[in-house]
């Protein structure tokens, strides 16, 4: 029986750019076999879209809240998205990647 997964859209604010935050997120995602992407936004925040096994949801969010050394997370806005809202983008997830900055 396949594991139940949830799609999380997360926006992280604080000192999260220029401190290795995206690389940290990718490393943590790869270790947990979480799929999706992370990118910097032009307002200084970081955006994450991730496909997470339901039983890892809480620990994933807490890992992001901690962040790497040198970061200072002020807030995490976590939204659960219904898979149909994300559409084929979820089916296209084959890995976790760092995407270009969204201007």
User: What digits encode the pLDDT tens for the residues 55-83?
Assistant: 999 999 999 999 999 999 999 999 999 87
Tokens 């995407």 map to which residue?
A: 99
* Angstrom distance (rounded) from CA 26 to CA 43: 21
Which residues are known to be catalytic?
22, 40
CA angle 53, 55, 60 (to 5 degrees): 75
What is the distance in angstroms between the CA of the first residue and the CA of the last residue of the chain? 41
pLDDT at 91: 56
| 95 pLDDT more than 80 | yes
Q: At what angle do helices 21-32 and 57-66 cross, to 10 degrees?
A: 160
Going from N- to C-terminal start, the domains of the chain cover 5-91
CA angle 86, 103, 30 (to 5 degrees): 50
Arithmetic mean of pLDDT, 20-29: 98
* Angstrom distance (rounded) from CA 7 to CA 84: 10
CATH 3.30.70.100 fits 5-91, yes or no: yes
pLDDT at 4: 85
Q: Are 14 and 73 in contact (CB under 8 A)?
A: yes
Residue, of 4 and 49, whose pLDDT is higher: 49
pLDDT at 9: 95
pLDDT at 23: 98
């Amino acid at each position: 029986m396949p594991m139940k997964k949830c799609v999380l859209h997360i926006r992280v604010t604080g000192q999260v750019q220029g401190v290795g935050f995206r690389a940290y997120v990718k490393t943590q995602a790869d270790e947990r076999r979480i799929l999706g992407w992370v990118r910097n936004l032009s307002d200084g925040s970081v955006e994450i879209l991730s496909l997470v096994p339901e039983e890892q949801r809480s620990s994933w969010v807490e890992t992001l809240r901690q962040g790497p050394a040198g970061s200072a997370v002020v807030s995490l806005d976590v939204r659960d998205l219904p898979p149909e809202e994300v559409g084929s983008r979820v089916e296209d997830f084959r890995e976790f990647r760092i995407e270009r900055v969204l201007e």
